[in-house]
Chain A
């Protein structure tokens, strides 16, 4: 009996220790003079506005990152936070380290864990330099004092500490797909798709723990929004295998697919973001997708 108690206590201590915040070393924050144009590009690539934008007629807008959108999920309702530069309700008081910890480690400034509804599992692949450019861009958008309520999640999902264990298992900044070192276009495409673009968050099916099943990378899956399915982006899906690189780039630019169908659903907002990227970024994404194996 005494032995059992000791084991239970040890497991508890271990779980507590493993679930703690695993923050970045302050030394990783580079000396940096921000490039606002690059920050804006990443803002669009990352689709920040599509979730964090202030709501008008229920739809997130591109100008003020006041938050407030409610994302319903099987575990409860997520309330998208205010990331405008308001020092009280937004992130205006954050240091560079705070921002990097949020984006790469899914950690709030107080060390608590964010839910992966915020796709830091993808953003973790972004470089510190890019993230600081993005922060600088967000910092110069208008502040808004909109107060967003806490998430409405049931037990046990409302215990944030448990996310620490989830992250130990599933938060990995390593690239998913191997691409040749010397191929700048494929490297760029991989960075955009696997990092800021966070395409895999919807286009890759999830496992029982709600983490992306990297073994089925970009193979499509149930629509997290409810009805319908999110299509696969590998050549295994015949309909997509027929798309040329040009077709993909044009779809991201104009929202019209090779069958002359006009984009809809959650992809409409994604495409609107992608249309704001330089053409060579869309071409890099297309090149990466066409290089995927079935």
Chain B
């Protein structure tokens, strides 16, 4: 192998993973970003239930809209071939128990729709709805996510 070929291969080896992370179409990066958005949307709701920020109906509604997007988009971001890489915390069970995994997002979507239909206007209304939503988060993290430090 000549020097040029070695150099090219080396550069490709270094740059390819970087390109993969930067690529918007990379499902692992995309689903991680989606989960980050979800977490950010949860932040003010937890703040409200813990009495750290004031209740605000519009914020609640915005957060629920983000959750609904997550429930809708997430299942398609775990295609075959994305079991590993990119520091994924996806568990192998996602692919071995696809129906159960997708049902988890259906449940999540339903809990979010219930909360949206409740037209939350007070903290007292938010508490039980949020608990219903969080239960569906937990159910899925329980079986389909690897716990890391």
CB within 8 Å for A265 and B134 given contacts A256-B42, A256-B46, A260-B39: no
A260 to B130, alpha carbons, bound, how many Å?
13
Nearest-CB distance from A88 to chain B (Å)?
A: 33
With an 8 A cutoff between CB atoms, is B22 at the interface?
no
Interface residue? A154 (CB, 8 A): no
A271 and B138 in contact, given A256-B42, A256-B46, A260-B46 (Cβ under 8 angstroms)? yes
A57 to B42, CA, bound (A): 29
Query: Inside 8 A of B137's CB, which chain A residues have their CB?
Result: 262
Chain B residues with CB below 8 A from A263, complex form: 138, 141
Given contacts A256-B42, A256-B46, A260-B43, contact A223 B138 (CB under 8 A): no
Q: How far is the CA of A49 from the CA of B142 in the complex (A)?
A: 16
Contact of A264 among B40, B49, B142 (CB under 8 A): B142
Task: State which residues 33-80 of B face A: CB under 8 Å.
Answer: 39-40, 42-43, 46, 49-50
- Cβ-Cβ contact count across A and B, 8 Å cutoff: 62
Check A260 against B147 for contact (C-beta < 8 Å): no
Name the A residues within 8 Å of B46 (CB-CB).
254, 256, 260
CB distance from A53 to the nearest CB of B (A): 14
Contacts of A223 on B, CB cut-off 8 Å?
Answer: 147
Question: Which residues of A220-266 are within 8 A (CB) of B?
Answer: 220, 223, 227-232, 237, 239, 246, 250, 254-256, 259-266
Known contacts A223-B147, A237-B149; A259/B39 CB under 8 A: yes
Closest to B50 in A: A250
Q: Is A9 an interface residue (CB 8 A)?
A: no
Q: Mark B110-149, 1 if CB is under 8 A from A, else 0.
A: 0000000000000000000001001001111110011111
> Please, how many angstroms separate the alpha-carbon atoms of A53 and B134 in the complex?
23
Q: Does A269 contact B (CB under 8 A)?
A: yes
Task: State whether the Cβ of A117 lies closer than 8 Å to any Cβ in chain B.
Answer: no
Asked if A267 is an interface residue, CB under 8 A from chain B, the answer is yes
Q: Does A268 count as interface, using CB distance less than 8 angstroms?
A: yes
Q: Quick check: A264 and B134 within 8 Å, CB to CB?
A: no
B141 touches A227 (CB 8 A): no
Residues of A within 8 A of B134 (CB): 254-256, 262
0/1 interface trace, chain B 11-49, chain A, CB 8 Å (1 if under): 000000000000000000000000000011011001001
Question: Would A265 and B149 count as touching, CB distance under 8 A?
Answer: no
| A275 to B40 alpha-carbon distance, docked (Å) | 24
> How far, in angstroms, from A269 to B135 measured CA to CA in the complex?
11
CB contacts (< 8 Å) of B139 on chain A: these are 268
Are the C-beta atoms of B138 and A228 separated by less than 8 Å? Answer: no
Which of chain B's residues have a CB closer than 8 A to the CB of A246?
50
How far apart are the CA atoms of A87 and B100 in the complex, in Å? 36
Contact A262–B141 (Cβ < 8 Å)? yes
Contact at A230–B138, with CB atoms within 8 Å? no
Closest to A267 in B: B147
Q: Which of B90-113 contact A (CB under 8 A)?
A: 91, 100
CB distance from A275 to the nearest CB of B (A): 9
Q: Is the CB of A230 within 8 A of B39?
A: no
Contact B146 A227 (CB under 8 A): yes
How far apart sit A228 and B49, CA to CA, in the bound complex (Å)? Answer: 31
Asked if B149 and A264 make an inter-chain contact with CB atoms under 8 angstroms apart, the answer reads: no
Q: Across the interface, which residues of B come within 8 angstroms of A231, CB to CB?
A: 147, 149
Most chain A Cβ neighbours within 10 Å, of B40, B43, B50: B50
**Can you list 13 A-B contacts with CB-CB less than 8 angstroms, sorted by A residue number?**
A223-B147, A227-B146, A228-B148, A229-B148, A229-B149, A231-B147, A237-B149, A250-B50, A259-B39, A262-B134, A262-B137, A268-B139, A268-B142
Interface residues of A (CB under 8 A from B): 57, 220, 223, 227-232, 237, 239, 246, 250, 254-256, 259-269, 271-272
Please name 19 further chain A to chain B contacts, defined as beta carbons within 8 Å, in addition to the given A246-B50, A265-B147, sorted by A numbering: A57-B100, A220-B149, A227-B91, A227-B146, A229-B147, A229-B148, A230-B147, A231-B149, A254-B49, A255-B134, A256-B46, A260-B39, A260-B40, A262-B134, A262-B138, A264-B147, A267-B147, A268-B141, A272-B138
